[in-house]
Structure 1
């Protein structure tokens, strides 16, 4: 028992802080989970959209009904099914959480029975929970227990990181070499920035890169499209406004005719819309529309005219890409996957910082088009500015974080601010809530505000990939959490309890901090409690999306609105998710031997997080792009940062205790750990990015997926930008697009064909190409824009086939469409994006039919497929717009005539099927619907 009243108050506050946080968070978590178990079956659109929205091959196993029966089924889901359904990125997050479970469960079982008695029995009489920490040790001989366990945990972490990384590399190679990924354009793609003007043309790029195995298949020279994306976005806005105007008019017209009765059905106007119900709005040149400002226009007629004008303007721009300025970068597709990996590693230019750094395997929906012209030196400058701003944020954000930590100890805070002395007289339970709950909640709120700024800074660094921006965010956010949450809170928490002594004798800060650092553990125990119980409970309940699921149907009026509400899975960002896991791993390491009471709660965090994200990855979240698990090695690096910090802390504590033998052994452990990280980088780092020339299956064949289109099998989330097979090219142009794979002595690079593109031509002594030469070489057109022009002509030639040649022509159109998809994928979207379909609901009055006829006369694409405006005919009843479920379930047909712009699993085959389902195939492709 403590000797003084002040010590007793510290005991009460410490224990009440812990118990209040424990019971409060446990009660919240229980309520959140109970509510989820009930709502899971009632609101599948909120809690399990992946169970019916994604294509059947990627849907997770069905879960049984009932409140708790599904839990065991979920936990027993085989890894193969998880990987097939969620992809490698999310699967490796689960593997990392499992690593946390294994490491901390084993160490908890070993450390708790040893360290708690060693710290507690017959040692110092520290107040409250501090009796259980290393700071309560009086006998230096007992520190051997802490040292031995520290060595054991260090060895376990090193072993497990190496083991898991080897497993990851096996999975990554299987992913990259799987037929459904290796046969895509993405697998053979190389992005080259900072190209000098003299080299930035097809001829020079081919000479440089055609030396790699298989040679170059196609080149995309990036262009500055100026304001074209804004014009395309404006057209999209007008299409959505027109849909809204017509849909609302249909609802008003239903109500109008219901009031008049069926006797006036024949007296309806030709447009089917009563004149007084025609929608109107004001148009002005002001950047922000103001009420009663601008000319008043008929909304439907106005949007008709504007869409028609924008269509003409955009189509003219898309037909003449050469009019746009060329940028200093290019996308280069090789004929063989290994060539892209080799080209990315070779020195390609004699001038420093030129044509570097090169990126491989960029998917079209992963490209940041605004960063296509950022050169190497400019990128370095941007990264420097971003680093300075990030550092400033981390430093200055420490001020509010430090204040939050001070609140966590009212006794120490009242010594600095005497007017807070009265808080000490509050009931111990209330003091426990203030110290144990409010600071952790405030800290969580402060932390949540930072990622938005960090993501913007990462994008401004000139990184060309969204996935790499997420990886950059992952590092920034971790260091923010590590410095401001872990280090600052630890230092402030330790110093706060000795602040009066430090003010009296500043030179004593080293000894005082070493003695008081373990006392800061109570705050972190409550913080881990908050994250493991309250944080995971909120994550699984999803209160805000649940509320919105009841409100959005009232706001969704058009078929497009309903489709976007019902047909999309929420997405998740690994750049913020993974650091929230790695920082708990670091806290577990940091306090594992200093305050072992934290270990069970770290275990609880990883158990609950694994369970929740296993469910949410399988049944809830999708990702816009895949990186092949590249976030996992960065998470491992964060583990090593935590490992080194913990070992340095142990060295400091042992030095203060003057435990020299233990100190020497701990220094040796730190040196071995540093060497292990150096070995880790030397052994594994190249394999994280590049494929080995000697694939692993030569020694031990890894798991390989089926190449059948109907079975996406083990790896399902690779971006499928076309198939890129020689067979596809043969269907279009008799010969395969493998000219670069032939003997270089037999072919030369020349200009040919009506499109003027560079082609590979046989050296047959005849300068004029024969018909067969032209057919073979034209898909071998290296310039993507020229290849697109040729494919458009080919489609147009087969628009109206003769009856005797109909099957051949249709096959030609299908193959041409597939190649068109490949060719256009690495152009700026505004250079190929077609007018969004004006999607209207079919109605009984005939308004949609009449408006669609008017739109077709203006060459504006429109459809009423899968949408219906219903009305029961009763006076005062509102109409309802319904969308056919086939538009979005099981992968769905999607909005008629449009392709998803952010689905990493949508490929050329899907595109051809999508177009043929929405329209007559030949007719739609004749209109150049390529995207």
Structure 2
């Protein structure tokens, strides 16, 4: 009785195509890499604003190491600058990322040594002796695909060695990360920050929503140390929207002023705008400069009125309490974290710049609702993302599909080399294009679901994005391949078997799934190589970009998932992963040293999240090994049990790590000497000047409004732009760290003069928090609300 014919399913032509496709992709990506490196070396010395912005725009007295203008001048600082020096210059978030990259590159070097050093020879020798030449190719004979019998115990033994290798690397780096966190907790920068000795209180009941109520919570539950000052949040209503509206108006005014005074001369015709009526009808023309000047005066007055009324606004369900010393705050936070006094949650306060203020006032019921809605949207996004997966799988299985598409069959026969090139290059390229937007969507959904801080948002993005990548790319993608392969086999049997025989042959489907995983390892070998402006415009464009830790961590974890899952099945995949990790670790080190900055320092809080996912990958690798061994012919039925113990070993190891390192990682645990020597702040000093309220009040209450800025050489022309008397004054610019600039006062508003030397971004002056008004979701107010201004 005929069955799914594997000799047809994986015919010699198909096997010959795999190496050609892989070779074409590796060759193309190698050429692109060489061209990129050469171009970088040529352009870097004369384009430092692009390739080395941190050399000029470093923060404070923390410049990156010196770098020469020679062709390869960037190599010495990259090779010789070690972690102790970089901790102070880059921050612990950057060091944590680099340490994770270092962990990955050495881990996969070890995995490659085990798999390629042991399994490749075993697989190759077995195929040469046991498999006929017409049923194997260069790639398949290096995999576990056709290996069977007791020799598989070698593969099982290697998975044990990989498991112990990962446990060893993780333990060593976990221990070092705890040491780095302890150093960070004791650093002058941390100890001297006000937020580090502040506690955050959320879900405050209505009867406690006052300053006295917050203090009563701490006194009732007899916290080990008393609070030196307390502050309950107040509803700001539409004030943030109004400030954003004001600042957008400033930008518009600046744009029209620069346009009108271009090249140091007054334009022949004043700029105008059209003010629309209802549904685009009844519009009228207005002078743009006059229009935005009047609007600016109205918005400034409205903001001032809102701020003056803040004490009359309703209290929020969150507040803050400062402690006299940093160790006191950590001790109280640890003691109260599981006690939930009066139903509240008390934890260490994040840096105010890290807080997502729009989510702070959400009740637990609102958060639960938003999480349900967000989860449904997340499922919907993941569902629709199967469309590009079908496209990618279609391209990755061109060799199977060509039997049903005459054009593809003709193409493969006429030009097998070009067919191999397309089947090798297009799938990973399209995968990369579609994967660009997904992290952005997931970040927005995670924020919608109620994340309270940007650092927590990053952790959620890593969780969601990584889970999606593993499930969609490794599980769904392969199942689609199974459908193509099984469909081909069924269609071939239709002509020779009756329906009953076809149904009876479905018991071979698990074996086809297993073989599809192994065969598609060649796809992952192609995947790895892929991997007149205003002064304000000029200033913002020259800022060093922020490093997207969540996205890069997720991508590194996904590469690790592919490398580990296929390591015992197709060792060349782990070799490709090792090469990519080595290359990427140097690229990321250069970027973090000379290009990117961290938005808000969290002290490496993503470490435990990514390590947990790395340990999960070991379980995933072993689970697939269980399936592979259990389905291999010639292997005694119960021998597959030998592949299970590493799963339980990893679970116990994870529990051990949590008990050993978790508290040390999350909290500052002072010694008796450190506790007695800690700097203690008095209650009077903290309450004087409402320090807690200024730092942890909603940023819209404190942030400076944008002041219109104009090139200094254009300032004398303002008398020809505005009517009436023009006065002289100074403007305090928050964008320049509160520095005072020469300004002119026209029609009640100040316009600051900016010299050419001050145009570019300067972190010594520019406050990144800009009053901490840095919301990801900056919604504009309604038309009716803004129409009253």
> 1:646/1:617 Cα in 2 relative to 1: closer, same or farther (>3 Å)?
same
Distance in 2 (CA, whole Å) between partners of 1:580 and 1:312 is 48
Alignment of 1:67-466 (within 5 A): 67-121=71-125, 122-125=129-132, 126-128=135-137, 129-138=139-148, 140-210=149-219, 211-251=222-262, 254=265, 277-284=269-276, 294-347=283-336, 354-356=343-345, 358-415=346-403, 420-466=408-454
Take 2:722 and 2:93, find their aligned partners in 1: how far apart are those partners? 44
1:838 to 1:493, Cα distance in 2 relative to 1, 3 A? same
Partners of 1:469 and 1:3 in 2: how far apart? 50
For 1:907, the equivalent position in structure 2 comes to: none
Matched, 1:47 2:35: no
Q: 1:86 to 1:695 in 2, by over 3 A?
A: farther
Tell me the equivalent position of 2:576. 601
Report the more deviating stretch, 379-388 or 322-331.
379-388
1:648 aligns with 2:636: no
Q: CA RMSD in A?
A: 3.4
Tell me, in whole angstroms, the C-alpha distance in 2 between the residues paired with 1:598 and 1:610.
Answer: 18
TM-score normalised by L of structure 2? 0.85
1:780 aligns with 2:650: no
Measured at CA, do residues 153 and 71 of structure 1 come closer, stay the same or move farther in structure 2, by a change above 3 Å?
same
Between the aligned partners of 1:515 and 1:353, the Cα distance in structure 2 is 58
**Residue of structure 2 in register with 1:674 after alignment:** 651
> Structure 1 residue 824: deviation in Å?
1.6
Shift of 1:345: 3.9
Kindly state the Cα deviation for residue 223 of structure 1 after the two structures are TM-superposed.
1.9
**Deviation per residue, 1:577-622 (Å, 9 max, x gap):** 1010011111111111100111221111101110110000111111
Give yes or no for contact 2:202–2:344 (8 Å, CA) kept in 1. Answer: yes
CA distance in 2, matches of 1:402, 1:460: 29
Report the equivalent of 2:510. 510
Cα separation, 1, equivalents of 2:338 and 2:21: 63
CA offsets per residue over residues 34-88 of structure 1, 9 Å max, x none? Answer: 1111111121111111111123522210112222242243122121222222211
Work out the number of aligned pairs and report it.
732
1: CA distance, partners of 2:558 / 2:337: 40
- 2:673 paired with 1:664: no
For residue 559 of structure 1, the aligned residue among 513, 535, 538 is: 535
Deviation at residue 195 of structure 1 after TM alignment: 0.8
Mapped contact 2:400–2:485 kept (Cα < 8 A):
yes
Q: Counterpart in 2 of 1:691? A: 668
Distance in 1, Cα, partners of 2:64 & 2:725? 42
Distance 1:433 1:695 in 2: 67
Mapped to 2, the partners of 1:649 and 1:514 lie a distance apart of: 9
Show CA shifts across 1:386-408 (max 9, x none): 33432343344335314412321
1:303 to 1:496, Cα distance in 2 relative to 1, 3 A: closer
Alpha carbons of 1:516 and 1:253: their partners in 2 closer, same or farther (altered >3 Å)?
closer
How has the CA–CA distance of structure 1 residues 120 and 507 changed in structure 2, closer, same or farther, with 3 Å as cutoff? same
CA spacing shift, 1:692–1:665, aligned 2, 3 Å:
farther
Give the TM-score, by structure 1 length. 0.73
Q: CA deviation at 1:853?
A: 11
Distance 1:340 1:665, change over 3 A: same
Q: Is the 8 A contact 1:559 1:883 kept in 2?
A: no
Query: 1:657-714 deviations in whole A, cap 9, x for unaligned?
Result: 335675333212222122112222333333332223548989xxxxxxxx9xxxxxxx
Judging changes above 3 Å, is the alpha-carbon distance between structure 1 residues 184 and 855 closer, same or farther for their aligned structure 2 residues?
farther
Equivalent of 1:835, from 674, 682, 705? 705
Specify which of 460, 463, 466 is matched with residue 472 of structure 1.
460
Q: Tell me if the contact between 2:110 and 2:165 (Cα under 8 Å) persists in the aligned partners.
A: no
Given candidates 578, 581, 586, the residue that maps to 2:553 is 578
Give the C-alpha shift of residue 350 in structure 1.
8.3
C-alpha distance in 1 between matches for 2:437 and 2:425: 19
Q: Confirm or deny: 8 A CA contact 1:21 1:432 kept in the other structure.
A: no
Instruction: Identify if the C-alpha distance between structure 1 residues 659 and 46 changes in structure 2 by more than 3 Å, giving closer, same or farther.
Output: farther
d(CA) in 2 for partners of 1:87, 1:903: 23
What is the 5 A alignment of 1:623-772? 623-657=598-632, 658-659=635-636, 663-694=640-671, 738-739=682-683
User: Unpaired runs of 5+ in structure 1?
Assistant: 257-275, 532-554, 699-706, 708-723, 727-736, 740-775, 782-786, 789-818, 869-880, 905-931
Q: 1:725 to 1:694 in 2, by over 3 A?
A: closer
Structure 2 CA distance for partners of 1:134 and 1:855, relative to 1, 3 Å: farther
* Secondary structure, counterpart of 2:668 in structure 1: coil
Q: How far does the alpha carbon of each residue in 1:871-920 deviate from its partner, in whole angstroms, 9 at most, with x for none?
A: xxxxxxxxxx984435646634349xx9735699xxxxxxxxxxxxxxxx
Structure 1 residue 458: deviation in Å? 0.7
Q: How much has 1:656 moved relative to structure 2?
A: 1.8
Task: After superposition, give the CA deviation of every residue in 1:485-534 in whole Å (9 maximum; x if it has no partner).
Answer: 12222333355434333674322211222234211110111111222xxx
Correspondence 1:816-835 to 2 at 5 A:
819=691, 823-835=693-705
| Structure 1 counterpart SS, 2:166 | helix
CA distance in 1, matches of 2:408, 2:664: 57
> Does the CA-based 8 Å contact 1:840-1:862 persist in structure 2?
no
Kept in 2, the 8 Å contact 1:134–1:595? The answer is: yes
Q: Which runs of 5+ in 2 are unaligned?
A: 1-5, 492-501, 734-738, 744-752, 775-789
Are 1:885 and 2:757 counterparts?
yes
Does residue 30 of structure 1 match 2:7?
Answer: no
Distance 2:284 2:561 in 1: 62
- In the alignment, the residues of structure 1 paired with residue 723 and residue 136 of structure 2 have an alpha-carbon distance, to the nearest angstrom, of 83
Name the CA distance, whole Å, in 2 between partners of 1:327 and 1:308.
Answer: 30
Greater displacement, 843-852 / 667-676 = 843-852
Counterparts in 2 of 1:24 and 1:223: CA distance versus 1, 3 Å = same
- Whole-angstrom CA distance in 1 between matches of 2:719 and 2:194: 41
Counterpart CA distance in 2 for 1:890 and 1:653 is 57
Secondary structure in 1 aligned to 2:86? Answer: helix
Classify 1:321/1:160 alpha carbon distance in 2 versus 1 (closer, same or farther; 3 Å).
Answer: same
Instruction: Tell me by how many angstroms 1:862 deviates.
Output: 7.8
- Any conservation in 1 of the 2:231–2:319 contact (CA below 8 Å)? yes
1:9 to 2, 6, 13: 13
